[in-house]
Structure formats: structure tokens, C-alpha cells
Structure 1
Amino acid sequence: MADESNAGPVAAAVATDAKVKEPTAKKRRSRPPQKASAEPAQSKTPAAKRRAYTEQEKSEKLKLIVTQVIEGNTLKDAIKSAGISEQAYYHWKDVAKPVEQNDTKGIEPHPADDESADLVQLEQENQRLRKLLAEKLGAENAELRKRLGLD
């Protein structure tokens, strides 16, 4: 058996490991001192106020943007030149669509008697032409099926 009294180097190694594993205290950082302002807090300028546009101004800006895009400018440049944000542009555009659609539904006047007669005549001619086209396509389809031997 090994001599138990000969534990010198092992005891020294354990002692050095214990010193290494001791937790070290973390340094705490102090907050930097706040700068003293020369002016009192009340005189600071408030954030920019939100600009409320009227419906007329909104529609004018939307028309301006559309004309600039048609002229060849990019959409982003047109929006910037109008002085609004992209978010505002898309919001206004979405809000304006349903209003325009609702305005055009009930405004369309009823056709006069001669206009309604023309409309009926055009519808009849349209039906006649559709029948002719259907017959012609049916005949061509039958001929192709006959050539291919599918009938």
C-alpha cells in the first residue's frame, strides 16, 4: 500500500487550486455625473407639433405626388418634395380610395331613352357575335379532334 503520510505535493496542488478559484469582486461602475444645463428645464423647446392637414390639402398633395411620378420622379423623391412622410402618404392614399369609390356609385346618371335603346342594341349584337365565335371555335375544335383521331 501507499504511504498516506506522503501527501506533500498533492496538498500543495489543492491549495493552489483553491486560491485560483476564489471569486473576485466585480468593480462597480459609477454613473457619470449629469451635466448641469445652463437654462432651466421649462425653457426647453417642445417636440415639433403634428401638422394637421385638411382634406383639400391632402388631396392636393396626393395629386402633386402623382403628377411628379408621371413626370419621371421616383415615388420617394415625390413624397419628400411634397413635404410629408411615406407613412402619411400611404395612409392618405388608403383613406382616399374608399371615399372616391363611394362618390362614384350614386352619381352616374340614368341613360336617356335613346341611349338605353342603343345599349339594348349593342347587347343584342354582342350576344350574336358571341354565338358566331362559339360556333366557329366549336367547328375548328371538331376538325382538330378529327385530324388527331380523338373522335
Structure 2
Amino acid sequence: MSNSDKLEKIRQIEAAVAGGATLKDAVGAVSISDQTYYTWKKAVAAPTSGTSSSPVAVDDELAEFIQLEEENRRLRKLLGEKLRAENAELRKRLGIN
């Protein structure tokens, strides 16, 4: 697979995640594993000129961190809602109000 194909798949995954999909669903949609995604992303982000870090790489890392934090917040909210619903159902079954 060419680098341009890899870049296209990475862009598709990032667009899907930005649209609200989970990373697992996004990588599944383009038929690769999440490990392959991370490997490709790391290879693409690796500096070719030999410099240790660039402002662009730092900005990309910060954007990825913010994206992960937002996904984490969303998943915590979903888990909390599910647990509250299960708790209410159990209380109902046990007759506890």
C-alpha cells in the first residue's frame, strides 16, 4: 500500500472520529486495525529532515490530545448514563425507592 493510500485512510479515520465515531469504529470502517492506524500515523508524523521536534508536530500532538480528552469525556458520560439506568432498574426490581 502506498503512502498516499495510507494518508487517505488516516484522513478518513480522523474525519470519522471528528464526526463523533469512536476510533475503533473508524478504523474498522477502513478495514485496518487500530494498531495499524497508530503505526501509520507515527510513520507519517515522523520528521524526515532529522529535526527532533517542530511546532507543527507539537500542534498535532496537542490537537490529538484534546480530541482524546473529548472522546474520554463523551464515553464517561455514556457510561454514567448507562449505570444510572441500570441502578434505577435494580432499585425498581428490589422495591427500593
Identify the TM-score tier after normalising by the shorter chain.
0.3 to 0.5
TM-score by length of 2: 0.47
Which one has the bigger helix percentage? 2
TM-score by length of 1: 0.31
The structure with the largest alpha-carbon Rg is 1
**Higher RCO, 1 vs 2 (CA within 8 Å, ≥6 residues apart):** 2
